[in-house]
Amino acid sequence: MPNAAPTHRPLAGKAALVTGGSRSLGAAIAKRLALDGASVAFTYASSPGPAKEVVAAIEASGGKGLAIRADAADAVAVRAAVTEAARAFGRLDILVNNAGIAILKPFAEVALEDFDRMVAVNVRGLFVATQEALRHLADGGRIIHIGSINSDRIPFAGGTLYVLTKAAVAGFTKALARDLGPRGITVNNVQPGPTDTDMNPASSEFAKSTRQHTSLQRYASTEEIADFVAYLASPGASYVTGASLAIDGGYAA
């Protein structure tokens, strides 16, 4: 179910950048932040069509949207995207590190190339975007990582490499919160459980067994995760930092 436009816009006057925002969860986050009043830039790796659709949706709701082509594994492109977003809106208040990939296979079959690609996108890209954003991020800003509940619980085989990267994000969140606390910048890690995305559709064979691990016996919608991200970006979450927060339907209960 799509989000209804809020009557109160807690992010009015703010500017946000969402990495990997052209589809699925990233698109839901970008559109949700715009509904709350933020001007939203987002990156995409390829296929400009979906990116244009997200911008159109943001503008249709009265917001400002900007699509920037940048592969999360390309440090130069990521840095340039952050700079472009800050220049376009004249400021940067919120960074959502959503870009990520998943390679699931038995550990013995994981190639070094798999490792390099996963770390490049899920860890190195997040690190680069965050460090570059700090050149522009206002005091009292928000940094929100999209991790995974699988860094806490992994009830299936084949997730070693994915979990390694998401556990790194959880640790990075705690340490970075200490560094940035004096500036009033909060750093948090959203850990979704099974969510209906392009990478993990609720209609797949994998989902049939996975949903049984949740207390609610269902997958989350991307809008439900986006609502949680919007809360962390809001003034109401100003005292939440250094936390890895589960939104998992009881997956880790």
As annotated, the active-site residues are 162
User: Helix axis angle, 75-89 relative to 125-133, nearest 10°?
Assistant: 30
* Alpha-carbon span 39 to 20, nearest angstrom: 16
Does residue 220 contact residue 196 with C-beta atoms inside 8 Å? yes
Q: Which residue has the tokens 């800050």?
A: 86
Contacts of 126 (CB under 8 A, 6+ apart): 19, 72, 97, 99, 145, 169, 172
Residue 59 identity (one-letter amino acid)? E
Does residue 106 contact residue 27 with C-beta atoms inside 8 Å? no
* Alpha-carbon span 22 to 46, nearest angstrom: 9
Contacts of 136 (CB under 8 A, 6+ apart): 82, 83, 86, 91, 92
| φ, ψ for residue 3, nearest 5 deg | -70, 140
